[in-house]
Chains A and B, each alone.
Chain A
Amino acid sequence: MKMSGAQMVCEALIAEGVTTVFGYPGGAIMNVYDAIYKQNGFEHILNRHEQAAVHAADGYARATGKVGVAMVTSGPGFTNAITGLATAYMDSIPMVVISGQVPLSLIGTDGFQEVDAVGISRSCTKHNYLVGSIEDLPRIIKEAFYIANSGRPGPVLVDIPKDITAEYGVFNYPAEVNIPTYRPVSKGNDRQIKKAVDAILESKKPLLYVGGGVVLGNASDLVREFAKLTQIPAVETLMARGVMGSDNPLLLGMIGMHGNYASNMAMSETDLIISLGARFDDRVTGKLSEFAKYAQIIHIDIDPANIGKIVDVDYPIVGDVNDVLQKMTSQLVGTVNPDRYQAWREILARYDELHPLSYNDSDEVIKPQWAIQRIGEMLGKKAIITSDVGQHQMWAAQFYPFDRPRQWINSGGLGTMGFGFPAALGAKRGVPEKTVVNITGDGSILMNMQELITAAEYNIPVINVILNNNFLGMVRQWQTFFYDKRYSATDLSFQPNFKALAEACGGIGYDVATKKEFDEAINDAIKQNKVCFVNVAVHRFENVLPMVPAGGALYNMLLEHKDQ
């Protein structure tokens, strides 16, 4: 059947089962938008900035596990999308971004709104394409979806010159992809798995180190089953919150710079790390020469390049965590004796008693940790929590009772401020039955606040809880600790009226200063079912603790909460 390249784009998206596209039109992508106007296979959400459109597609992907789709125009439309691509790339999020490009004949001439999209995005996409002819278009879109969501997932860019979307051609959407140069490994090596199992049986202090790969691979149930069978304690990375479940007695907590004492000590004293879809990020390891000095390492990862990148590994296993865990579990049934690790579990329990995750609550001013715990009490499993980047993000990761994977959505790798609100819109569109709360700060929320309009127009009721300390809090915390309290460019006391801002854009605003007001505002926000800002005045100088100073050993944590 003959159709335009623009129609082909729409037909391909429909064939891929896409139901929501986030985007922003412009000159070079107009043909596609014209085709979108004439179809009803998917809805298009008009975000108010390309960065937000890509973050929304990303949030949609994280919440649903499906490939998120965003569409932007050439030039500035595309460069605005770059932060979104880099964010998704760092966290391995499956996404396809379609960008318009100037016509083929203009490429390389510094045409209006021309930018070398594939050149710019090469290092922050899993793969990218500049479509060179209409004959290639269906195959490229098919490949883009396949690459995005197979192996280690990631964002793929398809850059389409305007003359190709205008041209007519025969649309035969391929049923399968055939990329001889791309064959992701899925099955783990049996001999390596056997050796790893033997190491587990011989260890005395094993530790499950659970990373975001478990979420991406939908392997959470298997990890819980493995832990239950072996009674091996577990730590989660920032990206893995929710995998074990907050009430799981084997979960020690979060590992890393703001991990809890027991988790970081467990990592420092374990004799065998069982790494599941984690990548030994510098925020996890602290000072490398002091990291897990007594441990052998089993590293299970779908990306061979992650293995041996940061630490030397004793048992490298390349493969899908589902396959590897199934095999390991079946070999451990009947052979593992959970009592073997009893003494180890007791040591760790004592560590947790010694320095539990805590804060000093106050009756005079709302503590940000309290606010997060309170949301947890009020909404618990019913919510999806997104966050921006900074102190509020760490407190949310520490104090919210996450009970399932994909409940916690944040920019862990790139640390993108402005991610939370648009990601929340995507999450809510993908999983409408859940309440979606974006826990944010007074710095981050301003970086994509234009999404109030998007949320209001499409009636996407996202609750933004702004933990407002009139500071760029995390940078301020570093300045307090390491820069002799020189608060360079972090004082945000000059503020918008957040309540009025939300209302000006068709949402609801709440100003909250007491616990009572907080409860009332959250309850009302849930009831109103509209986009809102809950502006919470919190303690200005609260710090995120524990904290491993950058470059320090994981076991050297700042622990004390002293009110300032």
Chain B
Amino acid sequence: MQEVRRVISAIVMNESSVLARVSGLFAGRGYNIESLTVAPIPNSDLSRITIVTKGNQRIIEQITKQLNKLISTLKVIEHEEMVEKEMVLIKFPASEHLSDIQALCHAYNGGIVNAGENIIIAMAADESKRIEHFIEASQRYNPLEIVRGGIVAIER
């Protein structure tokens, strides 16, 4: 069976052990996690865990079923029609051209978020594929550090 990439959101109780339950499930059953993002859902006692995973159709189906089976899980969404965004922060030496970096960031839905004596920090928020392009393009400005944020997704 063919491997596919899937973005899955699990709506779970916002309690201390819930992330361990989810990540433990993936580790224990040998499922793959490409990225995982978790944050509370405003005005509720719930959290949203957004997971990017890869696997064949049987594995993906098992992942959603096993996630659903956790007592702390309210709902699992296997995204199809979605808007997905990932954030990245990149640190450049201040010796690079600020305006060039700024122009690049603009192309990827970002900008300069901090400029100091020695460093420039840029950010971008876009689809994962485009974030990868952004990181590639940034190489010519000698990045010092790159921090990727993991996916968040919302169904259209």
Residues of chain A whose beta carbon lies under 8 Å from any beta carbon of chain B: 118-119, 122-123, 126-127, 130, 147, 179-182, 303-305, 308-309
Contacts and interface: CB of A to CB of B under 8 A. Distances in A.
Given A123-B28, A147-B71, A181-B12, A305 B66 contact: yes
Contact of B74 (A126, A181, A309): A181
Contacts of A308: 58, 61-62
Contacts of A180: 74
Nearest to B57: A308
A309 B13 CA distance: 26
A122 B62 contact: no
B17 A118 contact: yes
A305 B71 contact: no
A504 B13 CA distance: 54
Q: Which one of A118, A130, A305, A308 has the highest number of Cβ atoms from chain B below 10 Å of its Cβ? A: A305
B72 interface: yes
A123 B21 CA distance: 8
Contact of B71 (A119, A126, A130): A126
Nearest to B27: A123
B20 interface: yes
Contact of A122 (B12, B21, B58, B69): B21
A130 B17 contact: yes
Interface in B92-150: none
A140 B62 CA distance: 28
B14 to A, nearest CB: 11
Contacts of B21: 122
Nearest to A307: B65
Given A118-B17, A304-B65, A305-B66, A181 B72 contact: yes
A303 B69 contact: yes
B17 A305 contact: no
Interface in B3-61: 12-13, 17, 20-21, 24-25, 28, 58, 61
A126 B25 CA distance: 12
B20 A181 contact: no
A330 B86 CA distance: 54
Contacts of B74: 180-181
Given A304-B65, A305-B65, A309-B62, A122 B20 contact: yes
A180 B73 CA distance: 9
Contacts of A181: 12-13, 71-74
Given A122-B20, A123-B25, A303-B69, 17 more contacts: A127-B71, A179-B71, A180-B74, A181-B13, A181-B73, A181-B74, A304-B65, A304-B69, A305-B62, A305-B65, A305-B68, A308-B58, A308-B61, A308-B62, A309-B58, A309-B62, A309-B65
A177 to B, nearest CB: 11
Nearest to A127: B71
A305 B69 contact: yes
24 contacts: A118-B17, A119-B20, A122-B17, A122-B20, A123-B24, A123-B25, A127-B71, A130-B17, A179-B71, A181-B13, A181-B74, A182-B71, A303-B69, A304-B68, A304-B69, A305-B62, A305-B65, A305-B68, A305-B69, A308-B58, A308-B61, A308-B62, A309-B62, A309-B65
